[in-house]
Amino acid sequence: MVEMGKGAVVEAPIDQLLVEKLADPQTIEKLVRLLDKLEHVTFLLDMLENFLRRGPEIADSINDLVVTLRESLSKPEYVSRFELAFTAVRRMQEFLDSPQVQELFKSDVLDVRSVQMLGKVSRSMIQASTETAQTGIKRVGLLGLMRTLGDPEVQPALNFVLNFARHISKELADA
């Protein structure tokens, strides 16, 4: 800052300028924010210093990688592997772009709820298959079937099957 004296211009001492700048509320706010983040700044500077210190080592590693790639590309077996990999990627892209796969993506088959339901059905089938293999096939008569229909464990599945039958009928009628 410049002070006006008796006809002469005198510069304020640097200490006074520093005190005035430090007393500024915006400067105080910025210093507090900097102090709050000082640990992060220190960590970042340490990482940068370590990175710069390892610069020659990193450059040597990159150079070795380039040399290795050049040597590998000159070998016929690596060239054929790259060609096979490229062909495989191209075929996968053709498969994904096919109308059938695009239609599959548009359908509800890949919906999370559908996949979860298929998981439940699969687990139930495996458990039923295991139980049947362990206990053997038992003859179930009409009365046994009627008793089973009243079983509280069977009721949710029975409701599911009936609702499924109703909805699949609607879907098939629309088809």
Share of the chain above pLDDT 70, in %: 93
What does the block give as tokens for 70? 């050049």
Q: Alpha-carbon distance 82 to 29, whole Å?
A: 58
Q: What is the pLDDT of residues 9-58, one digit of tens each?
A: 556 678 888 888 888 899 889 888 888 888 888 888 889 898 889 889 99
Q: What is the pLDDT of residue 105?
A: 85
b (16+ CB within 10 A) / e for 122-152:
eeeeeeeeeeeeeeeeeeeeeeeeeeeeeee
Q: What is the pLDDT of residue 41?
A: 85
Torsional class of 135: left (φ above 0), alpha (ψ -120 to 50), beta (otherwise): alpha
Least confident of 9-23, 24-38, 115-129, 142-156: 9-23
What predicted TM-score, i.e. pTM, was given to this entire model? 0.41
Q: Which residue has the higher pLDDT, 170 or 5?
A: 170
Q: Answer whether residue 139 shows pLDDT above 90.
A: no
pLDDT band at 6 (very low <50, low <70, confident <90, very high): low
Q: What is the pLDDT of residue 145?
A: 87
Q: Alpha-carbon distance 24 to 31, whole Å?
A: 11
Q: Alpha-carbon distance 38 to 30, whole Å?
A: 12
Mean pLDDT taken over the chain: 85
Q: Answer whether residue 85 shows pLDDT above 60.
A: yes
Q: Answer whether residue 1 shows pLDDT above 50.
A: no
Q: Alpha-carbon distance 98 to 104, whole Å?
A: 10
